[in-house]
């Protein structure tokens, strides 16, 4: 029974398992990038044929990142990291807390980085000067009597040996955050016409309606173009309403979302209705109203006895931007047309009265909505990973021993040191410390 347990433990502690799982995850990620995810079944039939599409469905390729086998790979990698950490961390921790003043004196003369200095000073005076030299070089030394001599020891960065385990922990934290987001979060979308609001979105995949618990109002949608007429930027002025009251407003564009109560609203698309939002105000009476109109259809503003409509369209000097000819009449009974550019406001003087008239194309904004309660776990994990990688690759555990002993009429000072990595950088540091000690000893 014990033997079987050891073999299972060895399997999960294997570096080969880690490499295999990482390779399979990399291949899976490439597949998930190349093959569209969460598309309708007919899309895969059209792109890859009926037989291949059926195989994709069997292997859960269309929803690969939530498939049982992909989750199993992540669990295998997590178990591998946990078992490797449990197996190797105790020995590393012993090096971190090791009492280096108990180091075998015989080892010091065999280290690669070493220098022997002879001085006429007494061992006590030499030890004091060595401590001063180490201190000036930025090393704080501890002291112990060893084998009829004095051993000094100083170190920097013993905790850097834990850098790789910080990376291990970061991966587990990222996995945990991703799993929390996958099982307790969701993604959806909604199309909101300008001046309208909604309190629900529709979940990706199932098209299930999800209540938000508040309303999202699109006050205005603005579409700008490049000089060649291609869409450049689409911007939505959103307002969050709680019990009919405005609690938050933000103008969002692609990659600059609105966040509220754990939900993130991204600008993703838009839709034109081939209709126009118009507002008209009598500058004398201050009466005003807003209308949603269609080209070629007459609109009446009964409150002011005004009749108007769009009767023509013409391209402006800016590609993709149009101006519209408005037929306009009031109680005077005489119609006078005028032109207005999409998105502009103009003053209309007619029949002895003055009006302010504005027109813009009517759009709906397409929003992608995500709820990811595990996102902070992912952010924290990424931060830990950067910290762990920096420690693991750029910092090292550096140790210096100085053994001082009386030899005939003189005192010998043996300076030794090592580093667990970055050997060349340590050699420069060791030479500087040795020189500082030599200068102190005269």
Percent of the chain residues past pLDDT 90, beyond the cut: 68
Burial of 240 (C-beta count, 10 Å sphere; 0-12/13-18/19+): buried
Contacts of 274 (CB under 8 A, 6+ apart): 294, 295
- Cα angle 431, 91, 171; round to 5: 95
For 192-215, what is each residue's pLDDT tens digit?
A: 999 999 999 999 877 889 999 999
One domain, residues 380 and 245: yes
- Does 418 map to a domain? yes
**How many beta carbons lie within 10 A of that of residue 197, not counting itself?**
17
One domain, residues 372 and 242: yes
One domain, residues 311 and 436: no
Mean pLDDT across 243-271: 93
- Does 231 map to a domain? yes
One domain, residues 353 and 370: no
How many distinct structural domains can be found in the chain? Answer: 4
- Does 48 map to a domain? yes
Mean pLDDT across 364-393: 94
| H/E run at residue 154 | strand 149-156
One domain, residues 266 and 369: yes
Polymer length in residues for the chain: 442
Mean pLDDT across 379-400: 95
Residue with tokens 């995810």: 37
One domain, residues 374 and 329: no
One domain, residues 58 and 18: yes
Q: What is the DSSP string of 252-297?
A: EBTTB-EEETTEEEEEEEEEEEEEEEEEEEETTT--EEEEEE-TT-
The yes-or-no verdict on residue 183 having pLDDT over 90 is: no
- Does 162 map to a domain? no
One domain, residues 353 and 371: no
One domain, residues 20 and 79: yes
Mean pLDDT across 9-14: 84
- Assign 306 a pLDDT band (cuts: 50, 70, 90): very high
DSSP three-state, residue 91: helix
The yes-or-no verdict on residue 4 having pLDDT over 60 is: no
**Structural domain for 84, as ranges:** 2-94
pTM: 0.71
Partners of 238 in the β-ladder: 218, 250
Q: So what's the pLDDT on residue 3?
A: 42
One domain, residues 264 and 325: no
One domain, residues 268 and 371: yes
Percent of the chain residues past pLDDT 70, beyond the cut: 99
- Does 171 map to a domain? no
- Does 167 map to a domain? no
Inter-CA distances, 16 with 12, 167, 243, 264, 312, Å: 9, 18, 58, 40, 72
């Amino acid at each position: 029974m014990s033997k079987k347990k050891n073999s299972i433990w060895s399997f999960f502690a294997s570096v080969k398992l880690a490499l295999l799982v990482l390779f399979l995850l990399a291949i899976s990620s490439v597949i998930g990038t190349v093959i569209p995810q969460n598309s309708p079944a007919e899309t895969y039939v059209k792109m890859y044929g009926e037989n291949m599409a059926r195989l994709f469905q069997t292997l859960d390729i269309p929803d690969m990142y939530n498939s049982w086998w992909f989750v199993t790979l992540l669990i295998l990698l997590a178990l591998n990291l946990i078992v490797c950490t449990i197996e190797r961390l105790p020995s590393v921790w012993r090096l971190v807390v090791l009492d280096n003043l108990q180091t075998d004196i015989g080892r010091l003369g065999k280290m690669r980085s070493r220098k022997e200095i002879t001085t006429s000073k007494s061992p006590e005076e030499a030890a004091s000067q060595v401590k001063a030299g180490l201190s000036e070089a930025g090393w704080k030394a501890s002291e112990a009597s060893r084998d009829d001599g004095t051993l000094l020891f100083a170190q920097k960065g013993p905790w850097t040996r834990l850098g790789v385990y910080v990376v291990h922990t970061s991966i587990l934290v990222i996995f945990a955050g991703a799993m929390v987001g996958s099982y307790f979060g969701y993604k959806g979308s909604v199309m909101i016409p300008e001046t309208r609001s909604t309190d629900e979105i529709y979940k990706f995949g199932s098209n299930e309606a999800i209540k938000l618990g508040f309303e999202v109002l699109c006050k205005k949608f603005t579409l700008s173009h490049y000089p060649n007429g291609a869409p450049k930027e689409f911007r939505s002025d959103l307002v969050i309403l709680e019990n009919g009251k405005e609690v938050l407003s933000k103008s969002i564009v692609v990659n600059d979302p609105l966040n509220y109560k754990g939900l993130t609203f991204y600008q993703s698309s838009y839709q034109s209705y081939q209709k126009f939002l118009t507002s008209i105000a009598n500058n004398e009476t201050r009466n005003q109203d807003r209308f949603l109109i269609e080209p070629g259809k007459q609109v009446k503003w009964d409150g002011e006895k005004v009749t108007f409509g769009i009767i023509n369209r013409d391209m402006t000097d800016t590609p993709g931007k149009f101006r519209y000819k408005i037929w306009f009449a009031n109680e005077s009974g005489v119609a006078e047309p005028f032109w207005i550019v999409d998105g502009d406001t103009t003053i209309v003087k007619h029949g002895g009265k003055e009006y302010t008239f504005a027109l813009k194309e009517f759009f709906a904004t397409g929003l992608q909505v995500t709820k990811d309660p595990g996102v902070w776990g992912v952010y924290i994990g990424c931060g830990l990973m950067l910290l762990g990688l920096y420690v693991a690759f750029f910092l090292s555990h550096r140790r210096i021993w100085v053994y001082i002993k009386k030899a005939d009429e003189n005192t010998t000072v043996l300076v030794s040191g090592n580093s667990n990595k970055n050997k060349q950088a340590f050699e420069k540091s060791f030479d500087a410390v040795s020189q500082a000690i030599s200068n102190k000893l005269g």
